[in-house]
Chains A and B, each alone.
Chain A
Amino acid sequence: MKEQLQKDFDNSIKNLSLSQKDIEIKKFCLDNFIDKGFPNRKEEDWKFSDLNQIIKNNIGEISFYNDQTSTNKVDTSVFVDGLEHNKIVFINGRIEKIDFEYEKKDQIEIIDQSETINEFKNSNSLSDLNNAFTNKCFKILVKKGYQLVKPLIIYHTTNSKIWSKNINLRLNFELNKDSSLKVIDLFNDTSEKNFLNIFYNFELKENAVLKNYKIDKLENKNIKYSFNNIDQDKNSISETFILSSGSNFSKNEINCNLNGVYASAFVNGVFSLSKDKHHEIRSIINHLTENTKSYQLIKSVLDESSKAVYQGKIFVNSDAQKTDGYQLSKAILLNKKSEFNAKPELEIYADDVKCSHGSASGSLNDDSIFYLMSRGLSYYQSRELLINGFLLDVVEKITDSEIKNLIKNMIGIKE
């Protein structure tokens, strides 16, 4: 893999006009990645999902160089109907379109940050890989007091014209005081067996509100890793919803730093898996100052030989008195081959806190099935109804009603 990395790296920087310093940084990151390789099960955070093995088994030989000189045709058929929205379109890792047609142009700034690489507080080697190979990086800056009228949908599309096996993406967002933004990540993958490595950085200033919905619904054979870093100032709110279903392998990581008082973070997730899919959500909520709040709810329905993993950590600093942290993960195993692993973790250094977590996994409740069947439903209908209700609980947590309905339709949940 080392020669391939070197070769692809040389090719990719050749086409970029980078300063010597930037090349040095990229080189440093590349060397780090060569040194560490893909994360494997020996690393605590990857205990349940050995990415190195997964890539070996699914992709085999991996290549990294993407020729980004030629444009891809934007396929408008993938756009969401019935919901007016702003767009960012990625096709095969290349950013093709940024369009804030519904917004006041002077309130949003799009900054090309290709030359500056900001360090992620993420120790795993994938951030090094991302740093080394990302060639276009934009920062979306929402100005003070501006609340976007329409949601922003980021389309992640891959198709058969893809150059290499690996795509690295990066976006930065800055939400200034009193601003708000809704982001939907929508995955449309038609390529076969690629590794997507996505890093987002969100910076929320005082009173800012961020809502991020990640929807991976369409069946595909890709392997995805997505990392969200969220820094939150006083009174800010972040809401993350993850629908994890389509890809062969997917790991979503949320790292949330509650730096300001009264900041709150919500992470909700649904795993709906079948076949031999393997998905993971890992969340780290760092309560760094007093009076912060976090709430997490993760529900999984696992069929066939699928596997879901939830690793959630609530960290409470010794200054973070009056913290309120809650975490619940539940799973229904429908097949004897399906598997659910959880590691709900609490690390607490302050005494005046309210922190709890719960985790439960098991089969569908026989009594409930009996109840429904005795009222004339078939076994299959009863099962559907119960699963529907089980997942609806999480979807109802979405605070934006328009998007809630969109997601309900996508999953096929009825009220």
Chain B
Amino acid sequence: MDNRQKEINNLKDYKYGFSTDIENIQAPKGLNEDVIKFISNIKKEPEWMLEFRLKAFERFKVLKEPDWQKPKFPKIDYQDLYYYSAPKSMKDKPKSLDELDPKLLETYKKLGIPLQEQARLNGIAVDAVFDSVSVATTFKDELTKQGIIFCPISEAIQNHPELVKKYLGSVIPTSDHFFATLNSAVFTDGSFVYIPEGVRCPMELSTYFRINASNTGQFERTLIIADKGSYVSYLEGCTAPMRDENQLHAANVELIALDDAEIKYSTVQNWYPGDKDGKGGIYNFVTKRGLCKGKNSKISWTQVETGSAITWKYPSCILKGDNSVGEFYSIAITNNHQKADTGTKMIHLGKNTKSKIISKGISAGSSDMTYRGLVDISSKAKNSTNYTQCDSLLMGNKCGAHTVPYIKNKNSESNIAHEATTSKISEEQLHYCQQRGLNPEEAVGLIVNGFCKEVLQQLPMEFAVEAQKLVGISLEGSVG
């Protein structure tokens, strides 16, 4: 018990809230063509990439910031942000980890991310993104042997332009919504994964994002392509220092699964949520979209959302290939003044497509949580099925839990089932646990973990443990 208490005390405050003092190179403040050219130039990008960015920027200029979301936030001044920030030592990329700035290594050590390849036991290949650039990618050799490409996207643009050119923007086009278009114009780095035909990726691939510099927006771009018959499991984690101002994080993630391929994408999102009074924290406005392009393909999203001042994202699946499968498992926890508006979109286009949505929302304190989802079965998607379940748990009467599902069925041979419940932890459940010697906080932890179990089970082992702890910590102080 003592150990647990210690652990909790350690974690009670946002433990990733430190910032690292590192010399930065920044693009001039503001958003204009020059800044985009600056980013493109510093990354030594080919001409077509700059065109891609400028095209997106043209489009961005005519778009308006959306305002239909539930959590309202003060207007963001897009001219008051730095769109590029990189540790100075990264200017000429180090050849190996030994050349990496020790301060950076220390930062990742503090975060518990194994960048040193000695940490082989973990068996996870990591790509670490610090502010705007990818600083290190581990296990490269082993992956290369199998023909797997796992590298920063800026490297991929130079080394594998044919793949990037073909797939970048094919799921999230440059003409998409406001934040996605902004990302297309100014994205800085992120991960690129290509799994060749018939290869089952031998280890979990992982990216770790960290926002360090202040007044910086992080705009990373992830592109994952699973060729025919391949399989990959990809993890994503994120943290940021504690700062009083709100920071914007607008990433784009594109997944493409060809025939018989499977992509499993897991996120444990733990951005700085702001302090108890709701000051500071990250605006997490991310666009994640997967395309099941081929027959029998499968994309599965799993997310544990505990951080961010505002989370606003809908990881989606476009089920284009016949017999393709889309899955979405989500736990979203909001405490104090956090706000979340999250859910998914399942767009059924192919025949015999299946989708499953399991969403668990927990709100405590003065937080506000919304599940918003779309299930759209088009008239050609014969024999498709969808099952949706979204449950919310409320703790206290200052928080809110909302469910806004959109259900569209245009096919008489398809079935959609949706159910949602909202409840609180019953007195009986609490009493039962306490009677058996658990204190109220432990009892709540146990019940909440049980509530989330369906989703936690979907996470890879290493992540599941972390996530389970995170669930407990996020709700710390919300009982009694």
Contacts and interface: CB of A to CB of B under 8 A. Distances in A.
Interface of A: 44, 318, 321, 331, 333-363
Interface in B374-413: 379, 392, 394-413
B415 A363 contact: yes
A362 B409 contact: yes
A333 B409 contact: yes
Nearest to B371: A346
B339 to A, nearest CB: 14
Given A336-B412, A346-B422, A351-B424, A357 B403 contact: yes
A362 B416 contact: yes
A354 B392 CA distance: 11
Interface residues of B, number: 34
Contacts of B407: 340-344, 359, 361
A346 B403 contact: yes
Given A356-B422, A362-B409, 5 more contacts: A339-B408, A341-B409, A346-B392, A357-B419, A362-B416
B48 interface: no
Nearest to A341: B408
A103 to B, nearest CB: 43
B416 A336 contact: no
A358 B416 CA distance: 10
A253 B423 CA distance: 27
A355 B402 CA distance: 11
Nearest to A345: B404
Nearest to A364: B412
A318 B409 contact: no
Given A331-B409, A337-B379, A339-B410, A359 B400 contact: no
A346 B402 contact: yes
Interface of B: 68, 379, 392, 394-424
A354 B426 CA distance: 11
A314 B68 CA distance: 19
9 contacts: A321-B397, A333-B409, A344-B420, A345-B405, A346-B401, A356-B420, A357-B403, A357-B418, A363-B415
Contacts of A331: 409
Given A337-B379, A351-B395, A360 B412 contact: no
B413 A336 contact: yes
A351 B394 contact: yes
Given A336-B379, A348-B394, A363 B412 contact: yes
Given A342-B407, A353-B422, A355-B422, A348 B412 contact: no
A335 B416 CA distance: 16
Contact of B418 (A318, A337, A344, A354): A344
B400 A348 contact: yes
Nearest to B401: A348
B420 A353 contact: no
Contact of A363 (B394, B402, B413, B424): B413
A128 B205 CA distance: 58
A351 B408 CA distance: 30
Given A350-B397, A351-B424, A343 B404 contact: yes
A353 B425 CA distance: 11
Contacts of B392: 346, 348
Contacts of B402: 345-348
Contacts of A343: 404-407
A353 B423 contact: yes
Contacts of B395: 351
A175 B188 CA distance: 65
A311 B401 CA distance: 18
Contacts of B414: 362-363
Given A331-B409, A339-B409, A360 B416 contact: yes
B405 A333 contact: no
Contacts of A354: 422-423
Contacts of A350: 394, 397
Contacts of B409: 331, 333, 339-341, 361-362
A334 B401 CA distance: 35
Nearest to B393: A351
Nearest to B398: A318
Top 4 A-B pairs, shortest CB-CB distance: A362-B415, A333-B412, A351-B394, A346-B403
Q: Which of B405, B417, B418, B422 has the most CB of A within 10 A?
A: B422
Contacts of B400: 347-349
Contact of A351 (B68, B396, B404, B405): B396
A232 B418 CA distance: 30
A205 B410 CA distance: 43
A361 B416 contact: yes
A337 B379 CA distance: 7
Contacts of A356: 419-422
A355 B401 CA distance: 11
Nearest to A303: B412
A350 B404 CA distance: 17
A344 B411 CA distance: 20
B450 to A, nearest CB: 18
A355 B411 contact: no
Q: Which of A343, A346, A357, A358 has the most CB of B within 10 A?
A: A346
A47 to B, nearest CB: 8
A351 B392 CA distance: 10
A338 B410 CA distance: 6
Nearest to A352: B424
B221 to A, nearest CB: 31
A325 B210 CA distance: 43
Nearest to B372: A345
Nearest to B408: A341
A264 to B, nearest CB: 19
Nearest to B395: A351
Contacts of B405: 342-345, 359
Nearest to B388: A359
A296 B405 CA distance: 17
B408 A318 contact: no
Contacts of B419: 356-359
Contacts of A344: 403, 405, 407, 418, 420
Nearest to B384: A362
Contacts of A318: 397-398
B335 to A, nearest CB: 14
A146 B421 CA distance: 40
Nearest to B383: A363
A49 B202 CA distance: 50
A318 B397 CA distance: 6
Given A333-B411, A341-B408, A346 B394 contact: no
Contacts of B410: 339
Given A348-B422, A350-B397, A360 B415 contact: yes
A331 to B, nearest CB: 7
Nearest to A44: B68
B418 A334 contact: no
Nearest to A360: B417
Contacts of A333: 409, 411-412
Contacts of A359: 405, 407, 416-419
A339 B412 CA distance: 8
Nearest to A359: B418
A340 B398 CA distance: 36
A357 B406 CA distance: 13
B225 to A, nearest CB: 34
A193 to B, nearest CB: 26
B424 A345 contact: no
